[in-house]
Amino acid sequence: MRSSANAILHPWLRAELSAILAALPNIPDDDVSATNRTEWLVWQEGLTQPMTLPAELPRLRLLLIWDNLAGHFTPDVVLCLFRHGIMPLYTPVGGS
């Protein structure tokens, strides 16, 4: 039997995160510079497995702390989060 968890969870998650981001104050994305990248990198300090960030990043708007299920690491999901200014931070294995 095939699992459909990601097919259901990922669209739902995108919709929920979009609603949360829409409720946040609208800050112009005019300072996409080294300072912006530094804000992203600060949240990776001390991680045993930091993520490779894309070359261009929007302003960091939200930290998403969630468990380390395999579906949360798919490139499609992680890159979607990055595009929307969301940094995923994963709980330690066995820590959820």
Q: What is the pTM of this model?
A: 0.77
What string of pLDDT tens digits covers the 96 residues of the chain?
A: 455 667 777 788 889 999 999 998 877 666 567 788 888 989 888 877 788 888 888 889 999 888 777 677 788 888 889 999 999 888 877 665
Alpha helices, DSSP H only, in 1-96? 5-23, 34-42, 75-83
Q: Are the CB atoms for 78 and 52 separated by under 8 Å?
A: no
Long-range Cβ pairs for the range 44-52 (8 Å, 24+): 51/78, 51/88
Q: Are the CB atoms for 32 and 61 separated by under 8 Å?
A: no
